[in-house]
Structure 1
Amino acid sequence: MSQAEELELIVLAISEGLDQFKKTVARGEDQRRAEDGLTRHERQRERRCGKVFDGENEMVVLHAEFDRVAGDRVRTAVHDLSDRLFRDDAKSGSDRTHDQRMADALVTLITQQPESSGTSESEDLENDSSECDGIVPQATTLIVSVDYDALSGQLKNAGLIDGTPIDIDDFRHIACGAGVVPAIFAADGQPLYLGRKQRAVTAAQKLALIARDKQCVGCGMRASACDAHHIVWWDHDGPTDITNLVLLCPKCHKKVHKQGYAVARGPDGRHQLKSPKRGSAGALPRGPTRTAAA
């Protein structure tokens, strides 16, 4: 940007209101980037982003930026459901704040979905309740762990997969609306050692891997995006046993099969990915380097 253009922007910033100045800047950006062949909406789409990360006080922070079209769709959906919750609160006398309703609306829209029925939208609104009628849970998997104290016959030490503790009452609430899949190692009905009987891992084995590895052993990618990998490859007579399996994301999985990387145990006993240059005396055996999937 030239000095003259900068001075012009300074003058406009002083003379125009904030909203109008934003539009002026946006129009200027459109003009400067016209030669790239993209429309304003296409440039906005390229800048879209989303993040979910741990914040302060053990809270989870959601941050996202959308193009105007997608953003207006999201805003409309959140506001509509927030308004429904506001009407519910008015009927029930709830003291939930606006920000709390917005957060609850986001959770509902992201983790649940509208229930298909023959009723019209107006009928649905008339039948709204504090439980958000017309909304049913999506098929979402949330892994929690809990210890059972045989002496007292009570549940203890409930927590999320990342180790974050949760109250036993919260655990019971989750279990009431969930399809419970017990991940009990080596228990009847949950075979974690299949040997050479089959190549594909079972649902129980995948859950056990998530509970053990928690993420890709190579790069730390979240477990939900990972595959189960045979440390000693299936094509090299490796068994489909929990002790011969690790979680690898697609990129790290490709490194093993096409770039000569190997899975090894680190000093702390956890699995990690070793490059062919670094090597490791403690590396676990693997199959020959070829493109067959593990």
Structure 2
Amino acid sequence: MSKVTGPLIEVLGALRSAVADLDVVGLAPDDMAELTDVLASIRRVAEAGFAPVAGEISRQSRRELGKDSYSRKRGFTSPAALISAATGSSTADAARMMKVGEATAPRRNLVGEELPAKHPHVAQAVKAGVLSVTAAEGIVSLLDRVAIRAGDAACEEMEAILAARAPGLTSDELRRMLLDAEARLDPDGKEPREHERRDRRMLAFRTERDGSVSLTGRFDPETAAPIVTAIDGIVTRIMRRNEHQDDPAKKDGRTRMQMQADILADLARHALGCRAVPTRPITTMVVRMDYDTFRAALDENAEAAGAAGTARIDGIEQPITARAVRRMAVDAQIIPCVLGGNSEVLDLGREERLFTKKQKLALAERDGGCAFCGAPPGHTIVHHIDWWSRGGRTDLDNGILLCVACHHRIHDDGWEIRIDGVGRNAVPWFIPPPWLDHTRTPRRGGPTRYRLVA
């Protein structure tokens, strides 16, 4: 037992004993939450310890060492294969671990002086056990990709923000935040990337051995938007009809994926028998942008239209350029949602007795979809924070977007909701009932969990 491994082996023995004695059957909600947090922290701490080891294995196994490579001496073709065998993970996970280890390890200059890690903020968060290796690798990959165009100062500032904001995010939320960060760090690269994504668009058909046909597709955001909007709108209508159907025999029993397949076939059949493109869709595309982007989109000058800001399409995560907005704006089935300088939604009515479509569009700019679980705006309804039956008003200050499932959960389980601030950057907070969390610690909702400061 070496001085390096001795203390860890003692900790490992204690951990094994504690895990063997765990009895999780029937745990109270508070105890379950605490146990989940503790075990997740242990995993992150273990990853933090293994990341520099993986980085050193990679360094001692670099290709130029040939037969003296550490991994080859151990009988493996690559360091990723060695780590994969040791951890039981995939080689992709092993490569991710090596990348984080190399990016967060201390460095030395030519005269032997120790230098900070290449990504010090990520290194600190990983070492503290608050940032997972998966999240760290996503941040590191982004920063390395844009470093030359964005510059060291901007990348370091963004690294500090991302390392602080990433802990606690789901993989989907982290991806959205990284997309936003890349658009901010590399605005000049938005349009070339848009062209690259468009050039890679494709749709392929393949007949499988059992006779079924597989469709494989890839679409740029502009091409995907009408496809996603049309299919998602019909699926949402079916699921809402199911929600209000009391007779189980009359409910649509298809899964969401089965519905999507059938809807695509229905749209194709309609096109085969239709001489004109339909002009009355059941749903519309919503493109959200700030006022500067809106003005750039109206500018006929190509350079100006590609230079200012980004916009987002409901249901599509990847931001688009003002030039793409201008191309899409010729379609009358698109609703532009324009924001003023104070992040308030412009030109959307607020005077209706019931929540209107315009009010929902305004709330979607703040909530991004279901403020509780993140479902797309098309899957949501507007919930009265102060219930209508208890005298609550039907206005934007008293509205929040929730999907049907979360709407029921909020009502049935006794959650409370509060909104801090106004406009797009207001923060929804969900306060759990005492039986679920005796501390009633508020949980941040909406896209402010992952949205970078405007």
TM-score normalized with structure 2 length: 0.32
**Which is richer in helix?**
2
TM-score normalized with structure 1 length: 0.46
Q: Which of structures 1 and 2 has the larger relative contact order (alpha carbons within 8 angstroms, sep 6+)?
A: 2
